[in-house]
Structure 1
Amino acid sequence: MTNMDSIDFLEFVSSRQSVRAYDTNRPVEKEKIERILETARLSPSACNAQPWHIIVVDDPVIKNRVADATSARALGMNHFTKQAPVHLVLVEEKVNLSSGIGGWVKQKDYAQMDLGVIAAHIVLAAHAEGLGSCILGWFNEPAMREILSIPDSKRVWLDITIGYSTQSLREKKRKQINEIVSYNGYKKG
């Protein structure tokens, strides 16, 4: 890898954003979704547990019901989700024995970490395909289970909306690097 490759990836990541306005007249091509799913399949996970199941929701009727489950009218949240032509719903699956024992010993929920990793892969893959995305953790989980026939024993962790963005690039508001990074020991600010 050359230094130029690093700069290109930094620029790529800098231009990705959470999209809350989608082109409702432009469907997402099946090939693009398949490449995003292949990228997700290749995501790393603790002890290679791969504790996830992805439900692709692209049927307009079901998609609108899923969007309704993400919307909170009283709080004014997630009303944009009906615009997105595709929702990828991430369901937690059981971890393998190694990851389960390791998580118990270390008091860490590796499955949750792994779901975060796969979500990052999905949104970056969507961006590489020229698509916008938004990761949603706020939704009515029982409604989502009912709509998508997900067993009660499973947790629905995230819903990622995907489609062609109609919003302009915003400036990212992030903490300064010295506020979040220290070298060779913990030093805050």
Structure 2
Amino acid sequence: MDFLEFVSTRQSDRAFDPERPVEKEKIERIVEAARLAPSACNAQPWHLIVVDDPGLKNKVADATSARALGMNHFTKQAPVHIVLVEEKVNLTSGVGGWVKQKDYAQMDLGVIAAHIALATHAEGLGSCILGWFNEPRMREVLSIPDSKRVWLDIAIGYSIQPLRMKKRKPLEEIVSYNCYKSGGRNNKH
């Protein structure tokens, strides 16, 4: 399978087999792929918490669920959650981010989340990246200091959801070459 075919079959899964645990060696390969993710100035501003204890996993899932809004009600089905916590950037990344007015740590956390999602897919598993959760509750459940920011929770398990067609904007709407073009207009430089 080539890379384009591979990414076209990765999806955000919201239905997992709750009776099928994820093998430890698969999780170890996923976190190793995450560890190798690039980051600005090699700052690696992240800490990963792998939650595979069933009772603790259910508490994490409860922190992600907003039943009144119909959001994330599937998260208890996932046998593993990987929670991404922001750590401090190194001096070079911090100064660069300040000078350029860019939050490199947030970008880096997005990159590592993509590595986790793709590595999960490579292991024959499904995943869903969750940004909606009760952050104070997540900190309490996982003993995360109040000074740390919890950015994402990635639910992982054996998907029981059928493959869906991807709904993406057409290339000509999101890509231009050699200058910015929007909505099919040719902007001159």
Pairs within 5 Å for 1:71-86: 71-86=65-80
Alignment of 1:55 with 2:49, yes or no, is yes
Q: How far apart, CA to CA, are the structure 1 residues paired with 2:83 and 2:138?
A: 9
What residue number does 1:167 align with? 161
Q: How far apart, CA to CA, are the structure 1 residues paired with 2:119 and 2:138?
A: 24
Instruction: Give 1:27 deviation, angstroms.
Output: 0.2
What residue number does 1:87 align with? 81
Alignment of 1:176 with 2:176, yes or no, is no
Q: Deviations over 1:44-85 (max 9, x none)?
A: 000000000000000010000000000001111000000000
Alignment of 1:140 with 2:100, yes or no, is no
Q: Deviations over 1:134-165 (max 9, x none)?
A: 00000000000000000000000000000000
Q: If the length of structure 2 is used for normalisation, what is the TM-score?
A: 0.96
Q: If the length of structure 1 is used for normalisation, what is the TM-score?
A: 0.96
Q: Deviations over 1:66-109 (max 9, x none)?
A: 00000001111000000000000000000000000000000000
Q: How far apart, CA to CA, are the structure 2 residues paired with 1:73 and 1:13?
A: 30
Q: How many residues align?
A: 183
Cα RMSD between the aligned structures?
Answer: 0.6
Instruction: Give 1:118 deviation, angstroms.
Output: 0.1
Alignment of 1:118 with 2:112, yes or no, is yes
Identity of aligned residues (%): 84
What residue number does 2:7 align with? 13
For structure 1, which runs of at least 5 residues remain unmatched after alignment?
1-6
Alignment of 1:109 with 2:103, yes or no, is yes
For structure 2, which runs of at least 5 residues remain unmatched after alignment?
184-189
Q: How far apart, CA to CA, are the structure 2 residues paired with 1:185 and 1:151?
A: 45
Q: How far apart, CA to CA, are the structure 2 residues paired with 1:70 and 1:143?
A: 9
What residue number does 2:186 align with? none
Instruction: Give the match's secondary structure for 2:3.
Output: helix
Instruction: Give the match's secondary structure for 2:83.
Output: strand
Q: How far apart, CA to CA, are the structure 1 residues paired with 2:60 and 2:98?
A: 33
